Amino acid sequence: MTRLNALLLIAIIACALAVITSQHRTRKAFVDLESEQAATKKLEEEWTQLQLEQSTWATNKRLEATASKQLGMRLPDPTTTVILTLEAGARE
């Protein structure tokens, strides 16, 4: 009887310690999760800013100005344009 009681006592102490440890680990893991979620949020925000920057640099107005002024590009002269007709089904 006494031995059984001692055994149960040890078991219950072990269980209690296990609960404490797992609770601690849960909280630690949760802190990690939180910081990862914050990082996700930060990356998403950076993504919107990059999209914004990209679209600002790529506005048609700016592209057109760069093409015609800096690079000296122009629309092809119709007299030198050759229209090629594709074979039937070649578009697919």
Where do contacts with other proteins occur on this chain (CB under 8 A)?
26-27, 30-31, 34, 45-46, 48-53, 55-57, 59-62, 64-66, 68-70, 74-75, 77-79, 81, 83, 85
DSSP secondary structure letter of residue 89 = T
Shortest separation between residue 49's beta carbon and other proteins, angstroms: 5
**Whether the Cβ atoms of residue 45 and residue 51 lie closer than 8 Å to each other:** no
How many of the other CB atoms lie within 10 Å of CB of 67?
13
The residue among 3 and 74 lying less far from other proteins, judged by its C-beta, is 74
Shortest separation between residue 10's beta carbon and other proteins, angstroms: 26
d(CA 84, CA 4): 95
